[in-house]
Amino acid sequence: MDKLKRMATFARVVETRSMSAAARELGMSTSAISQQMRQLEAETGVVLLHRSTRKLTLTEAGETFYAGCANMVHAARQAEQQLADLRDELVGELRITAPIGFAGTTLPLALAPLLAQHPQLKLRLFAGDERIDLIEARIDLAIRVGRLADSTLIARPLAQVEEIICASPSYLQRAGALKQPEDLQHHQWITLTALGEPQFLDLSGPNGETRRVRVEGRIASNESQSTKHLTLAHLGLSRNLATEFAAEIADGRLVRVLPEWCLPDVGIYAVTPRRDAQPAKVLHAIKALKAALEVH
């Protein structure tokens, strides 16, 4: 490393044509510059500079060596600029992982303007409800929905979203309407878990009362979109974010069940491997996602 510094110093001596001028630019003494040049010549085994009281001239070997040193300095400055661009500009590859439902709805709407405004920004989207290792997959930003596991990852809250229970009108017509929370345990359930274990629903009523109801899934899946499609197929009740059911409720294909009883809101988080030194592309993506969730 010290030799590389001496090579950079040599290049500056040649470019300023003076050890004293190079010393002033580099914040060093002239004697320190002279000592570094002697040491560099000793390391290379050749004379690089002819010195006189009036001027410095390069030897033939010095000319060849200078070209390499100048290229090295230029490459180092270029690398620094590329890092600065990645830090400060919206360029390069942005790697995001998100649940399938979120990746198919909110995320495209939020990031489309960003991608349109910054043509040098590339998006690599990994959609899936299984949580992947961010470090191993080189993920810049992960969207997490629900309770977060303890980890060294950094989580920033984006929004709190309402979770609701829905069914198709055909299913409710066949299975019967629900009038109170206890009715939930007597219906067919499509649950978002691959294991199919029982789930407990904590509901708050219109007058402040609370109910905890145990339900068990006849159908279980580890993927949110499949639970929605199975609900649309009239196979039972399911719970999901209100934003995931919004279009189907609007066109009448799904109906909210027990709308006066509320499940706890679900947190949506932006998760990154570290808090400091986040590049501009990550910070702008988080800002865009937060704004999109506030609208909805």
Encode pLDDT of 188-224 as tens digits. 999 987 555 678 999 999 888 999 999 988 999 888 8
Provide the whole-model pTM.
0.67
Name the packing angle between helices 19-26 and 30-44 (round to 10°).
Answer: 110
Name the packing angle between helices 19-26 and 2-16 (round to 10°).
Answer: 120
All domains of the chain in start order, with CATH:
2-87 (1.10.10.10), 92-161+267-295 (3.40.190.10), 163-264 (3.40.190.290)
**Residue the block writes with tokens 């010095």:** 62
pLDDT reading at 170 higher than 90: yes
Name the packing angle between helices 106-117 and 280-295 (round to 10°).
Answer: 130
pLDDT tens per residue across span 21-78: 888 888 889 889 889 889 988 988 988 888 876 778 888 888 898 899 989 888 888 7
**Residue the block writes with tokens 């929905």:** 145
